Structure 1
């Protein structure tokens, strides 16, 4: 395993853990409460359910490396949505009332990296790719 592959694997797993925890947190708060919070910010309430499911399931999928590119694309969209709808007015570093969007930028950049990177050896994506390659070669 090359250094870059190792780093990509670590980035994928850690990003997966971060989003899994965020998804679990939304479920623990109660999706009705998250729906109300989203609505209070002008975001359609049903998006709370969409975000929670993508974060929870997507986090698990990233940890095991399944459909990494698709999940990463969805997470980029969620981070753009969070920045534009909630964080932008506070600025990059935030203000006295609200944190900034520096974390969302970092998470989005990791997601973008995973979106374009090749599947790493320690992923289900890599296993599926090798199975397909072997089947084609037969």
Structure 2
């Protein structure tokens, strides 16, 4: 029998993974050097753009597959918290006409925290990889 909470967590995991996968790919497609320059304009080291883009791209794919859900969720939460504080907070919840607000980032942060806490969803490769020998 399918656990409805695990089913709901699966939906959140896949949507979160696809969202980060697309954002990570966009950073590389748009020129990672441009992203590094933007990070530097925020007072962050340029190389951190590469780290964030890899977390988003690789972590997004892993999240879709259900591999390392807890670790990826924690990494996503860190990325989102920094994005909210360093970039989005000044624009307010809905934005200010110049830039987007932090409502989407806050929603993704909540999803990440939920998945880091639960760490269990259906159709995740982690369920196969870490299957108990007693089961």
Q: Computing the radius of gyration over CA atoms, which structure comes out larger, 1 or 2?
A: 1
Give the alignment's Cα RMSD to 1 decimal. 1.3
Q: Residues of 1 paired with 2:90 and 2:122: CA distance?
A: 41
**Residue deviations 1:26-78, cap 9 Å, x none?**
00011111101111122211111011000000000000000100000000000
8 A contact 2:36–2:47 mirrored in 1: yes
Aligned residue pairs total: 134
CA shift for structure 1 position 121 = 3.0
Q: Give the aligned partner of residue 72 of structure 1.
A: 73
8 A contact 2:70–2:119 mirrored in 1: no
> What TM-score does the superposition give when structure 1 sets the normalisation length?
0.92
Q: Give the aligned partner of residue 121 of structure 2.
A: 120
Give the unaligned 5+ runs of structure 1.
Answer: none
Q: Residues of 2 paired with 1:121 and 1:85: CA distance?
A: 35
Q: Residues of 2 paired with 1:96 and 1:25: CA distance?
A: 23
Q: What is the 5 A alignment of 1:52-67?
A: 52-67=53-68
> What TM-score does the superposition give when structure 2 sets the normalisation length?
0.94
Three-state SS of the structure 2 residue aligned to 1:59 is helix
User: Following superposition, which runs of at least 4 residues in structure 1 exceed 6 angstroms of deviation?
Assistant: none
Match status 1:95 vs 2:74: no
Give the unaligned 5+ runs of structure 2.
Answer: none
**Residue deviations 1:56-105, cap 9 Å, x none?**
00000000000100000000000000011101111111101111101000
